[in-house]
Structure 1
């Protein structure tokens, strides 16, 4: 878990907020968004506890690029089942916070929500996911596009470019050889190390600015405590999952046995009732036969076959 470089979440807390280190963050965003990103300034974001013992281990950063777009970068170490909804809430809140009352809707800011998660989020085979809004016809299946005037006015080509965009990087799921710039970044996020062969934008600056050897003894002590907390957090999550699975299996077995017993009792009761009804029909048929009724009439009354009646 301990590489030669400072982990990205710790760097966001301590180093990347310094304008001199913006190059690392700009390189990461450029690699992810596939366009040149220049950070104009950092903005106020939801406060994050500075205590290295913070069990939630969450850090966020809000930046504005040279186009006036908002970039919300969040690192989350602990599992959160409603994280998808929180992504929506956080990004939507930015839309309303960064527009002045009375301004026209054409001033709504573009928001990118970038989520670096160190836990299992959802179910999927990939490690990087991108979400955006598109409108498709329910009858024709066509994509709703902007008019030429809207393209010129908003300086975008597609409706989706006006809406929130989400990126999810599932760091713990990355277990392959890095073959692209984005995978080189995923490798660093996962291991805290940067191979000498890595050439992705920003990683060159990271090699110089995020070396562990640049940290003071006090900073290193705090950093290692942070890593210890993450290990404890992940162990707790694994333990809770294992306990939950064991409890679920035990409960399932007990419920299965109870259900089996209930089904057995029900089946036994049904078999007993069926047997009793058959014996009652035979006894009634015997009495009818003694009174001289013919077998055909007895069969009609009791439901027994002629063959069954002849054996009585």
Structure 2
């Protein structure tokens, strides 16, 4: 989570630096909002909340804060319980609930009409979702990206369990690395054809902005 937040800040500063004139400051750097869905409940010693928002504060004066970075934590299990116990009117009045209902549904077709009624934007969301899932090339690229992330997690877990061993990293087959790289490039190309934001492409694929521009 912190890795991607830091990466987004660097990407935004890099883009701003590319647009700014020499001698200008970085006042136009955009706010970085991180949204994290957790499949477990955090424990902070309180009654628990489904949604928490964190930002940088002055530890000596809690009334002073920096709004450049916001970290939103959404605990899926708590939201599932809230949605189960919510009325239609409550779902209509809280758009976050309709979004979480969309993300946590096992069968979108069963609740499609409910979602559209609860939140008008869901018609467009479902339409874009279906376009994405019906695009074979995009789905292959997505699968490659998922495989890449799983591979990274496995490597990190083994390193933590066994201790860092440089020899293990050197032992990774070149073919596997090449395959992961091809998956990143394929996904980036597909996303560029959809005119997605270059920062988003960089975050999802792991490629740098310069690499994406050259594709």
Coarse TM-score class (shorter-chain normalised): 0.3 to 0.5
What TM-score do the two structures reach when normalised by structure 2?
0.42
Structure number with bigger Rg: 1
What TM-score do the two structures reach when normalised by structure 1?
0.32
Q: Could you say which structure has the higher helix fraction?
A: 2
- Larger relative contact order (CA 8 Å, sep ≥ 6): 1
